[in-house]
Amino acid sequence: MEFKEVIYKRRSNRFLSDKPLKKEDLDYILEIAQRAPVGMGKYEWTRLVLLEGEALKTVQNEFVKEIGKDVSYGGSALIYILHKGASDTIDNLDGGTIAEHICLAAAEKDIGSVFLWSVTRTKDNKTINDLLQKREEEKIIAAVTLGYKASEEVRDVSHKIKILKVK
Ligand SMILES: Cc1cc2nc3c(=O)[nH]c(=O)nc-3n(C[C@H](O)[C@H](O)[C@H](O)COP(=O)(O)O)c2cc1C
């Protein structure tokens, strides 16, 4: 698939099936996630946690209990991005590059995804943090929910970031 095609194919799909993803597709997505650039090349500062099966169901139930809805849109895999913390800026930027790599790899495999900031709303949830094996010094930056698309429906957004060209 052409690079531009992958870019245009990546949309936030919020109608995700709970059917497990193929292992080879998940392995591919995780490999691409690991290739994301991070600030100062400090790969040891970030950590990804893949949740599936019972662990994912437990987390989705905690979302419902604490936020009132499943913010992962019922997918079948949830990848958390944790960061040891250099500065809020670096931590968040690293989370951004990693999450986008995940979303683009998923798009290439025709797997639905959504970049989730909302998971930080349950950052103090012990059940979730225990599953993530979150250490004291780590912060939850974001997560990406993944799943086969139960519908092709996506939100109507303009995708027009303003550009100023100066010579
Ligand atoms: C930093 C960031 C955080 C986001 N957090 C959420 C979120 O918590 N929940 C959600 O449903 N979508 C979230 N999104 C998805 C955006 O709403 C979506 O990417 C944007 O509206 C563009 O739509 P598209 O992804 O379909 O192209 C987030 C996206 C980014 C880049």
7-42 confidence digits (pLDDT tens): 999 999 999 999 999 999 999 999 999 999 999 999
Question: What's at 59, amino acid-wise?
Answer: V
- Cβ of 11 less than 6 Å from ligand 1: yes
Domain range holding 82?
A: 3-147
The Cα–Cα gap between 154 and 134 comes to 32
Token match 């086969």: residue?
Answer: 148
Residue 85: pLDDT band with limits 50, 70, 90:
confident
Q: How far apart are CA 112 and CA 35, in angstroms?
A: 20
Residue 158 located in a structural domain: no
Q: In this predicted structure, what is the pLDDT of residue 138?
A: 97
166 found inside a domain: no
The CB of 50 under 6 Å from ligand 1? The reply is: no
| pLDDT value at residue 1 | 82
- Split into its structural domains, the chain has a count of 1
Rounded (5°) CA angle 105-35-32: 20
Ligand 1 site-directed mutation target among 7, 8, 12, most atoms within 8 Å of CB: 12
**Closest CA relative to residue 149, chosen from 80, 61, 78, 73:** 73
In this prediction, residue 93 carries a pLDDT of 97
Give pLDDT, residue 69. Answer: 98
Please write the tens of the pLDDT for every residue from 92-121.
Answer: 999 999 999 999 999 999 999 999 999 999
Closest residue to atom 14 of ligand 1, CA basis: 115
Ligand 1 pocket residue status of 38, Cβ below 6 Å: no
37 neighbors 162 (Cβ within 8 angstroms): no
CATH number of the domain that 69 lies in? Answer: 3.40.109.10
Question: How many whole angstroms separate alpha carbon 153 and alpha carbon 69?
Answer: 19
Do the domain assignments include residue 152? no
Residue 30's pLDDT is what?
98
Answer yes or no: is 165 within a domain. no
Determine the pLDDT at residue 152.
96
The verdict on residue 111 lying in a domain is yes
Average pLDDT, the chain: 97
Distance 115 CA to ligand 1 centre (A): 5
Q: How confident is the model at residue 134 (pLDDT cuts 50, 70, 90)?
A: very high
Tens-place pLDDT, residues 90-100: 999 999 999 99
Distance from the CA of 111 to the center of ligand 1, in angstroms?
A: 16
- pTM summary value: 0.98
Query: Do the domain assignments include residue 163?
Result: no
How many other β-carbons are positioned within 10 Å of the β-carbon of residue 165? 4
Query: Is residue 92 domain-resident?
Result: yes
Residue 86 confidence class, pLDDT cut points 50, 70, 90:
confident
* Mean predicted confidence (pLDDT) in 73-78: 98
Q: Which two tokens stand for residue 57?
A: 């169901």
Task: Report if residue 153 sits inside a domain.
Answer: no
